[in-house]
Structure 1
Amino acid sequence: MHHRLAKFVFNLWPPFLGAGIRVGRIAPDWRQVEVRLRLGLSNRNYVGVHYGGSLYSMTDPFFMLMTLKNLGKDYIVWDKAGSIDYIKPGRGTVTARFQLDEAWLQAARSATADGSKHLPQLTVDITDQQGELVARVNKTLYIRRKQER
């Protein structure tokens, strides 16, 4: 899927739309993604700050999709595990910026060249409008090169 079409689809996807999650940017090479979440009635918790589930949801598919788009159809890529560490209450608009570099992708290719599975851990920070850390999300991916038929 083209990066512009993907952005359009994500921004209309019901779980994101309902939570107020907006994809601001997907780089043409799928190595950078920026996602924002504005505080609203649909994503605030009892004490009036961002609901933790919405904070985690804004990070859910992106490392997996970015990796899959960069490694290609010869690879199986899944989200295996994830955790979130809440640092401070989220107010206003929060942002998560995802990035993959060529060295990381090359390491994944090397680790799976013989058909072995690779379980890399990636981290994305969620920051507020002042650039202060609101939450840190850790994701573990499952990557394996498909066997030739």
Structure 2
Amino acid sequence: MKGAGSEILVHPGRCTGCHACELACEREHEGLSRVHVVSRNGVNFPAFCRHCDVAPCVSVCYRMALVYERGRVRFKQESCTGCGLCEIACPFGAIFTGANSYPIKCDGCENRESSGKIPACAATCPSGAIEMRPVEDFGKATRYRAFRYVRSGGFIGEGS
């Protein structure tokens, strides 16, 4: 999530796999979580949209159902054909196809942000695996390293 000078930072090494973030997201979004805890090689991490500045999902969407506006990748259902290209293109595995074939993705809890609250997943995480940090804490090298590790199926450890 981007906006108000902050972004969500994920610490995979801190995630215990408790799924509290999923439950909080479900409560915020009418029973349908936009974040999912993924476990690979004994490491848990919450997978959700990172709202990339140059988003692969936006690039492949020929109907412009996904657009980058005001620091977020936004979904416009009325333009979507349900082709699933965005789900394939996401390097973070953060777009999921719903029962109606439309993508389900994190909206950064825009409804909470308007009232000055942080996203439900970050507010709920008991282990501090999900937190809000100032944008200045994220350099291009950090973003590239995260993209490269996730894309290769690896994980970003605490010491990376």
Report the TM-score, using the length of structure 2 for normalisation.
0.29
- Structure number with greater Rg is 1
TM-score, length basis structure 1 = 0.30
Structure number with greater CO (CA < 8 Å, separation at least 6) is: 2
Bigger fraction of residues in strand: 1
